[in-house]
Amino acid sequence: MRRLIINADDFGLTSGVNRAILEAYTSGVVTSATLMANSAAFDEAVHLALLTDQFEVGCHVVLVDGSPVSGTQQVPSLIDHGKGVHFRDSAGSLGLAAWAGKLDPGHIAAEATAQIGKLKAAGIPITHIDTHKHVHMFPKVLEALVTAAQGCGVRAIRNPFEPVRFSQFRASPKRWMQVKALNLLSQKFRQIVGQAGMVTTDGSLGVVATGSLDHTSFRDLVQNCPEGTWELVCHPGHVDRDLSNIRTRLRQCRAV
């Protein structure tokens, strides 16, 4: 049996992103979304989510490209001190910091707990968690994130690893090699999640296609989806002034 979750990331990023996600949900395509606690259009996203029936919303934990909910003084190891009050600006820089032992697991757990707590305080019944730019693929980040999720009563987490042999659409060689290399961490991911008693899927689809997902690649992904339960990751959005002012490489592709 093949089962597919289609999750929209970046809920709350802008009003245009919120509107697009709800349009995709009401059209019967998107089945869930993950909400960013530190986003500019957070309040609107909460309002829209609470207006809908059976729309599953999780927490899109942000540890890069943003500022902490808990305050910089509480999580100093997560801050790029050259940028003042902001996180590091890429998954790679966070991964290197984790590898070098520069991240305090307590800071990761505290910030994730604060972000999950903000959603719960707003009345969102959180169904699952994932992370912005899939940074929980790194074991040190994952371990702390799992601790936070358990403390908040959240049992489901995204499996961010994509079986590249099923990604038969157009993808840049660089992107494909990145995903292939990172898949070496997938066994450790399953070990940590399993030992914590959390649940996850067999993997994600659309990771390689991020930024180039279109009708053709979507069709190829669905047609080549293997047996099991999978999550297709997407980023719907309307391109407007707010999105243009945000640091992101995903612009017109959100509209597509």
46-74: average pLDDT: 92
Cα distance between residue 72 and residue 183, in whole Å = 32
Q: Which amino acid is at 134?
A: H
Q: For the segment 126-155, what is each residue's pLDDT rounded down to a tens digit? A: 999 999 999 999 999 999 999 999 999 999
233-238: average pLDDT: 89
Cα distance between residue 66 and residue 86, in whole Å = 6
Q: For the segment 65-98, what is each residue's pLDDT rounded down to a tens digit? A: 889 999 888 999 999 877 678 899 888 899 999 9
Q: For the segment 173-219, what is each residue's pLDDT rounded down to a tens digit? A: 666 666 676 778 899 999 999 999 999 999 998 887 776 778 888 88
- What is the overall mean pLDDT for the chain? 88
Confidence of residue 108 (pLDDT cuts 50, 70, 90): very high
**pTM score, whole prediction:** 0.91
So what's the pLDDT on residue 52? 87
So what's the pLDDT on residue 80? 86
- Determine whether 220 is exposed, middle or buried from the number of CB atoms within 10 Å of its CB (0-12, 13-18, 19+): middle
So what's the pLDDT on residue 162? 87
So what's the pLDDT on residue 33? 97
